[in-house]
Structures are given as C-alpha cells and as structure tokens.
Amino acid sequence: MKYLRLALPLLFLPSPALLADTRDQALKLPDVVISANRQVQARNDSSAANTVFTRDDIDRLQPTSVTDLLSRVPGVQVAPTGGRGSLPGISIRGTKSAQSLVLVDGQRIANTTSGDSGLQYLNIDQIERVEVLRGSRSVIYGSDAIGGVIQVFTRRNAEQGLQPRVKLGFGSNQTWERSVGLSGGDEHTRFNLGVSLDETAGINSTHESFASDGDHDAYRNQSISLNLSHSFSDELELGFNLLDNRGKSEYDNSFGRYDFSTRQSVGQKPYTDYTVSSASGYVDATLNEHWQSRLELGHSENRDTKRDTLSDDFSVFNTYRDSVNWQNDLTLDEQNSLILGGDWYEDRFHGSTTFTENSRWNRAAFAQHRFHSEWFSTELGLRRDQNQQFGGQNSWSGTLTLPINADNDLLLSYSEGFRAPTFNDLYYPDTKYSNPNLQPETSKSYELQWRSQLSDSTRLEASLYRTDLSDAIILDRNSKPQNVASARINGFEGALKQELFGWQGNLGVAIIDPRDRDTGHTLARRARRTVSLDLDRQFDQFGVGASWQAISRSYDDEDNRNRLGGYALLGLRSSWALNREVALSLKVDNVLDKTYARARYSYDDPDFLNNQNYREEGRVWMFGVTWTPET
C-alpha cells in the first residue's frame, strides 16, 4: 500500500538516549482526555463534557462496532438502517449526524459530498481508544463540531518487547471475525501493526417489496492499522498513523429501479464497495520549558462505489482531504496557559457525477487562554475560519469553573459552532437540487455542569444545556436545500460510575427536548429519554457482565406522522482467561429477542406500500478466542 511506503523511512531513525513521555502512554489511561484541546489533560480539568473508552473497556464490553460503543454514551443516539455495515444516524445532544465531527487520529474522515462519517466501517479490533465530547468545540476544530466530537485512536503499543496477538470469533448470521497483530518496541521506538477480516451473511434489513429484497444483506470488512513512533530525545518525537478499512456492504432499495424498456419498476440487489482511510504524520517538540509544539500532516479518503448485481448501473462518489495542523501550547506562568494554532485543509471530489466545483479549501487560526486559581478557573477561546466558498466565520467560547470544595466543581459554559454545507448542497450539477448561495449552519450553546467525586468508588457527572440552531439546511418541497430552519434543543445528561461489592457499574441517563422552532415538532429520530447501564464483575480468571438500554419513542419524520416505538434491550457477556496466553469470550445481545426499529424507509406518504421499519437483529451471539503468546 502507498501508506506503508510513507512509513518505511521512520524505521531507520537513529537511536536516542531517552524516550519522551508520549501520547501512546496517555492513550492507555482512563482519566485523561486528548480531544478537548488537542493535548493530554486530566478529564476533570477539561471544560468539555466527555466520555472515554480505553482498550480495556472495549475488551470488557465486547462491542460489535464503534456505533455499538457510542450507544452507551449519555446524550448520544444511534439509528442504523439495518444490521452490520448499514448507514447509522448518530445524534449528539439532539443534533444530526453531519453536525458532529468525527476524527481518526486527529484526521477528519467524513464524506464531503453527504457529510456521513463512515463510522460503521471502522473495525473495532483496530481501535485503542474512543473519546466523545458532548457540546460544541468549534473554537478548536472549526466546522461540524456543533453537537460534539467523536475521536477514534488506532491501536498503540506502550511496552517494550514483541507482543503478538491472534483473535478468532464466530457467531450468529454466519459471522466470522479474524484478526492478527504485532506490537513492539524498545525505549526509543514503538510500533503496532494489525490486520482484520470480518464477514457476516447479515439479515434482511427491509420488508419485501420486490423479490430481490428478500435476500440477506451481507457485509465484509478488511482492515489494517499501523502506528510508528520514535523519540529522538525527551524533547522530540516523530510518528506515523494509518487506518484503512475497505470492503463490501449489501443493502436493499425498496423503491426499485425504473426499467425504461418495460416502463415499470423492477427490483435491485444493490451493494457498496467502500473505503474509509486515514493517514497522518506528526512532529512533537518541546522547544523549551514553556513551549510545546505539534505539527501534523494528514490525508484521508472516503470512497464509495454503488453497484447493482441485477444491472450494470453504478455510481462513484470519492472524496479526498489533505490537512495541516500546527498547535503551540504555551505555559505563561503557574496560573496562565495559552493555545495558539492554525489549520488548513482542502477537500476534493472525483466521481461519476460532474459537480460544478470539485474542490475547496479552508484555513483557520485559533487561540484559547486558560486561567487557573484556587478560587476559580476560566477558559476563553476564539477562532477565525476562512472558507473558499462562504467566506469568513468567527467562533467564540468561554467557561467559568467554580470549585465548591475538593470533590465538587460547577462549570458554566457558552460556545458557538457552525457547519459548512456539503458538496451535494452546494455543487450538485442539477441546480434544482443544489444551492450555491447557502451559508453555514450556526449554533449557540449554554451549559451548566456539575462534577462530583462522591466517594472513592462513586463518580457523578451531570449537565444541563440549551442549544439554539440557526440557518439550518433542509430540503424544500422541490428537494432544493435552503437556510430556512431553526431549532431549539434543551437537555439533561447524567453519568454515574459506581463500584460496589466488586461490581463495576456505569449508568448513563439523558433527557432531551429537541424541537423545530417554526413548527414545534420534535426533530426526527431523536428519542426524548434514553438510559444505558453496564454492570461487570471479575472473579479471578472469569468475568461476567450485562448491558441494559432503554430508548423512548420517537418520530421518523419531521412532520411527526410516523412514530417509532420505544424499546429496551438486554445483553449478557462473559470472559474466561484459561491461562496467561489464551482467553475465551462469549456474548449474547438482545437476549429477550425484542422486535424494534430505530428508522423507517419511507418518508412522505404514510399510505405508501413501503412505509415500513428497517429491521434490526434479533437475538445474536458471538464466541471468540484470543491468543497472546508470550515471547
């Protein structure tokens, strides 16, 4: 692969005397967060409401996918359109999918034509850590970070010596999971290389409207990740990150394809050949005791080719992004610190459709000041974006932290956000379906957080917030995008972490009221109440756990005509370390075999033949064997 050639020069770097304390080590820690300010800091010191999953959490919870993991985060809702590999709608604090930023090792991965991130294609076995920030972070990241930020970090090594690993899993719906990996290093250089192959026959995601819809929608994913870092000294580190996921995802088109020869609609057996990849290199330098500087260069690709087994029809939508980020962290004195940085990225499109414009750039500068004292702390930020299409955009943020006592903090925050229109919105060749005069969507958010360490084994975090959206982009009756909508989202989130009698419990609760300000209707596919509970216990080599999620009813359409019922799901899991090298795992999801739906596949006419719910998987199980031979 071309990315591997970029990494080879790093293998021949000279050996330093010492190894710096790198991010690779921080990525293993549950009580730090990196995404909030693009720097390692204690979670409790961050102004952002955040949730962190480490690799240990992933191994314990045994999630099927990244989206499965995200559904445990308070304030995050996932609405997939079928089984594995299906398009998920991801909502953070009541915002839509395109209004939240998704990063892999610091690189944006969203498709610039549709705004979809491709999170459903990221292989969970190649992931070291997932961080979720709830609330706008546009001062640090610019466009798309209205609802929040999801950052995925690929597998890392933080130890010396070689550590191989092999995993094999099989389960319901002819599902197979296979992965191998090798990590290693010494006091100067570290690397991790992993490859995976997942396959499943899938389920039939829709009700049959054509004979071709009666098949199961299979999914295949092959993934490779590579991380390489080298420390020249305590002051200088270089690194390279790569994640590449590609495969095939089948789906149903229940509206069929029009056959001009017979003048009638006929069935299809469509599928997508996809690639979601990200590569980046960085230089991390401590210039002096007050100045830390980091320079990152990145490239990401989101390639999508849709085909049909029953015809020669196909369409290609490939987007590419190059980026540069330079951030400087300055410690001015014991109470004051400053972040100064600049961003540049360029998006490009190549496909079977000729857009009126096929590229655009965005450049930005940002600054954030933090003051910390015994009595209070403040954080003030400003960012200026200059975009080739819509011109300039300013974003402000501010946070006041009041420590009530050693174990309780109150945080008052204000933040602004924006989202740039997609290529489809602006440049689609048929001007009936595009609008080059669109302006960015904007938001203003207000938040009150309470963070409390109630005891050594009890941690409580709660948030009250309000988000006002303006110039939201919607399609009018002729399917032309317009800046006409506005929305108001009020919400509450609570997260409780409790250890009791050896059991580890994590409870997440969210209540939201997301409304269109013009009609008063509830925003589509947003449940007003969600609850998530995970309980786990380790008995020497044997571990057991359970997950319970409850989701209230919602509406699939903006007019609130198509109701989706509420549901609750129960999952059970176990693990057994046979010895120091071999471990077994077994999980059963949807134990009670509930029938439920999180999305529909007809929108306008409630009497239409295909006004049906997307199917979700029933009771499914997965068994795995992991071998980590000692070297």
pLDDT tens, position by position, 177-198: 999 999 998 888 999 999 999 9
With DSSP H G I counted as helix, E B as strand and the rest as coil, what are the percentages for the chain, rounded to 5? 10, 55, 35
**pLDDT at residue 348, rounded to an integer:** 95
Is-contact 612 600, C-beta < 8 A? yes
Is-contact 112 104, C-beta < 8 A? no
Would you call 144 helix, strand, or coil by DSSP? coil
**pLDDT at residue 323, rounded to an integer:** 97
Averaged pLDDT, 289-297: 95
276 - beta bridge partners?
245, 302
CA distance 533 to 547: 6
Total residues found in the chain within this entry: 631
Structure token pair of residue 169: 């899993």
Interstrand relation of 148-154 and 100-104 (parallel, antiparallel or unpaired): parallel
Q: Which residue has the tokens 């979700």?
A: 616
Structure token pair of residue 576: 């057994």
**pLDDT at residue 482, rounded to an integer:** 87
Residue type, position 84, single letter:
R
Residue 610 in this model has a pLDDT that exceeds 80: no
CA distance 376 to 72: 32
Q: Which residue has the tokens 């029938």?
A: 595
Structure token pair of residue 93: 């604090």
* Range in 39-53, 202-216, 346-360, 597-611 the model is least confident about: 597-611
88-121: per-residue pLDDT in tens?
889 999 999 999 999 999 999 988 888 888 899 9
**pLDDT at residue 8, rounded to an integer:** 38
Query: What confidence category does residue 410 fall into, taking pLDDT thresholds of 50, 70 and 90?
Result: very high
Cα 196 vs. chain centroid, distance in angstroms? 20
Contacts (Cβ under 8 Å, ≥6 apart) of 497:
458, 459, 460, 504, 505, 506, 507
Long-range interactions of 463-466: CB distance < 8 A, separation 24+: 463/49, 463/75, 463/134, 463/135, 463/491, 463/492, 463/493, 463/494, 464/491, 464/492, 465/93, 465/135, 465/489, 465/490, 465/491, 465/492, 465/493, 466/490, 466/491
423-449: per-residue pLDDT in tens?
999 998 877 788 888 899 999 999 999
253-281: per-residue pLDDT in tens?
765 554 545 555 555 788 899 999 999 99
541: domain CATH number is 2.40.170.20
Higher-pLDDT residue of 77 and 614 is: 77
Q: Which helix (H) or strand (E) element contains residue 57? A: helix 55-61
Q: Which helix (H) or strand (E) element contains residue 271? A: strand 270-288
Q: Domain total for the chain?
A: 1
Q: Which residue has the tokens 């500068």?
A: 365
Q: How far is CA 589 from CA 64, 69, 433, 468, 491, in A?
A: 10, 13, 41, 37, 29
Q: Which helix (H) or strand (E) element contains residue 472? A: strand 458-475
In degrees and rounded to multiples of 5, residue 484 shows phi and psi of: -125, -20
52 - beta bridge partners?
131
- Ramachandran sector of residue 593 (left: φ over 0; alpha: ψ -120 to 50; beta: rest): left
Segments forming the whole domain that contains residue 342: 2-627
Mean pLDDT for the chain overall: 89
**pLDDT at residue 591, rounded to an integer:** 96
